[in-house]
Homo-oligomer: A and B are copies of this chain.
Amino acid sequence: MKDAKVRLYVDHPLGAGQPVPVARDQAHYLFGVMRLSEGAQVLLFNGQDGEWRAEVTQAGKRGGSLSCLDQTKPLQVPPDLWLVFAPIKKARTDFIVEKAAEMGAARIVPMQTEFTNSERIRQDRLQAHAVEAAEQCGGTYVPEVSDLVKFDRLLAVWPEDRHILFCDEAEVGSVTAQLSADLRGKPWAIFIGPEGGFSDRERARLKDLPNAHVISLGPRILRADTAAVAAMSLWQHALGDWT
């Protein structure tokens, strides 16, 4: 197991020679489930110090200790893209958060719209999904999941310079024109509506924003989770870190 196949997020500083304590639940996973013993190697990241190879220095049922060896990846902060979405059914909401972390969103903002069923979210559970997705996808950054915010309140304090990409079946803008290269490097947000879409009032409000960009995602109606991945793909390809 010198290959370090385990990749773990820890809420602890990382650096050469830095000892990292292992809490009970992670000890269960590392030493129980994965059966790592002293001398085994793992990869650690904390969202700030990049990725580090670390060695197990103490393995116990209720805890243990790791020691950082060397940095295997620098911190790679994704482009300044927020994914703003209306929570849907539990499994699909989890999916959207997972996908947003994989696709490289810098921040994930659950939003309550007129047609949103959910009036609350479990922010801690969604944040844990984002961590797990980062562990899985090899990212060194974990997007922050915000608390649920109402559409009107979100737009009332919307930063003027943050561009909005929003998908509307009714009005079709060319992706190439809307995501033109001179908008690279600016702050952006992708808005994904709930099942049933945004209300007419919300749609008008979004379109009135000076930095709103409307595109189409084809002739079929995409589910919210599909639309989130599709819109982020086009954005990452045009303006993000895919090229």
Q: Which of B218, B229, B234 is the one whose CB lies under 8 Å from A226? A: B229
Q: Which of B76, B175, B218 is the one whose CB lies under 8 Å from A219? A: B76
Determine the chain B residues whose CB is within 8 A of the CB of A217 once the complex forms. Answer: 233, 242
Q: Which of B95, B98, B103, B234 is the one whose CB lies under 8 Å from A234? A: B234
| Segment 201-243 of A: residues with Cβ below 8 Å from B | 216-223, 226, 229-230, 232-234, 236-237, 240-243
A137 within 8 A of B: yes
Integer count of this chain's copies in the complex: 2
Minimum CB–CB distance for A229 against chain B, Å = 4
- Total residues of chain A contacting the partner, CB 8 A: 33
A72 within 8 A of B: no
CB contact under 8 A between A175 and B218, given known A103-B230, A233-B229: no
A53 within 8 A of B: no
Q: Which of B104, B218, B223 is the one whose CB lies under 8 Å from A242? A: B218
Q: Which of B76, B139, B174, B233 is the one whose CB lies under 8 Å from A233? A: B233
A136 within 8 A of B: yes
Determine if A137 and B175 form an interchain contact, defined as CB atoms under 8 angstroms apart.
no
Chain B: CB-nearest residue to A139: B220
Determine the chain B residues whose CB is within 8 A of the CB of A13 once the complex forms. Answer: none
A107 within 8 A of B: no
Minimum CB–CB distance for A83 against chain B, Å = 13
A55 within 8 A of B: no
A sample of 6 cross-chain residue pairs with beta-carbon separation below 8 angstroms, ordered by A number, consists of A76-B219, A103-B220, A137-B220, A175-B237, A218-B240, A230-B232
